[in-house]
Structure 1
Amino acid sequence: MTTLGTRTAEHRDELLQLVTFSIAEEEFGVEILLVKEIIRPMSVTKVPNAPAFVEGVINLRGQVIPIIDLRKRFGLATSKLGKDTRIIVVEMSRMRVGFVVDAVSEVLRISAGTVEPPPAMVAGVESEFIKGVGKLDRRLLILLDLEKLFTSMEQRQLARL
């Protein structure tokens, strides 16, 4: 059992399995169980009055999926699609969404004990979707909480797409 502010040995020894990807030279990770597939960019249909971070929608095997530019969502400069650009299709809040990322790195297993809470300067209101920071050999991995990536109003807007 985990108590507030402390972790039990069982929790620290838990392995997290993540899909890691990069956006603007930073490395991020999401739980592998949320990832349904990783695809190459395809033609996106623009949707009028969609939130600014929504690129549009795609038809993936008969299912309409909103495509989110994570660079825009994080307030970063946009860039052209490169040869390594991918769309990570995830299941969140009972809907499928595609995230445009600069590159997918690897599937990684890390100990939950290596994950620290986000630093205070990162954990602001606009960054509440950061679950933690994983400390790897010589790099840091930002773990995203996809359920907190969008406000409830934004989730309703995405569902209407």
Structure 2
Amino acid sequence: MEENNNQEVIQYIVAKIGHEQYGVNIQHVHNIERMLRITRVPKAPYYIKGVVNLRGDIIPVMSLRLKFRLDPDEYTNDTRIIIVKIDGNPMGFIVDEVKEVINLTEDNIEKIAKDSSDEKNIYVQGVGKIGKELVTLLNIDGLINTND
């Protein structure tokens, strides 16, 4: 699929959390699972719901709603766990719904001005534009490797 100016096309999986749409770079996505039974882990950070056993792998699961200081998760038939891998380490993200895969080029992505005082900027790498809709593009590395 060629875009004009031979720009690289980056694919993102679009997930809904509340009324907002978030994009996860498909390169990091290992798989997408229906809601699994989560085993709580003592003394885990507030946004870590616990771990799941996925085909023999024990994977920590994070609530993006809690990480972003939104209302707690309400599990429905649409709730999914997006399993990502960074540096070979898997992590699950609970999202309200997985919508679609989109293709973006650099022309469709607005970079976010980095304001070190706003912790959300660690989690966001930009905003994708699809027609009139905006998708917040997540920085998976920042989400996983922040200590809060």
Per the TM superposition, whether the score is higher than 0.5 is: yes
Task: Tell me which residue corresponds to 2:26.
Answer: 32
Q: Residue 80 of structure 2 contacts residue 95 of structure 2 at CA under 8 Å; is this kept in 1?
A: yes
Task: Tell me which residue corresponds to 2:38.
Answer: 44
1:101, distance to aligned residue in structure 2 (A): 0.1
Task: Tell me which residue corresponds to 1:87.
Answer: 81
Q: How high is the sequence identity, in percent, across the aligned residues?
A: 34
1:129 matches 2:132: no
Q: Residue 93 of structure 1 contacts residue 147 of structure 1 at CA under 8 Å; is this kept in 2?
A: no
CA distance in 2, matches of 1:43, 1:125: 30
Q: Residue 108 of structure 2 contacts residue 128 of structure 2 at CA under 8 Å; is this kept in 1?
A: yes
1:126, distance to aligned residue in structure 2 (A): 3.5
Residue among 48, 51, 54 paired with 1:54: 48
Task: Tell me which residue corresponds to 2:97.
Answer: 103
User: Which one has the bigger strand percentage?
Assistant: 2
Instruction: Give 1:58's aligned amino acid.
Output: V
Task: Tell me which residue corresponds to 2:134.
Answer: 140
Alignment gaps of 5+ in structure 2: none
Alignment gaps of 5+ in structure 1: 1-8, 155-161
1:104, distance to aligned residue in structure 2 (A): 0.2
* Paired residues, number: 144
Task: Tell me which residue corresponds to 2:12.
Answer: 18
Q: Residue 14 of structure 1 contacts residue 113 of structure 1 at CA under 8 Å; is this kept in 2?
A: no
Of structures 1 and 2, the larger Rg is shown by 1
The TM-score normalised by the length of structure 1 is: 0.82
The TM-score normalised by the length of structure 2 is: 0.88
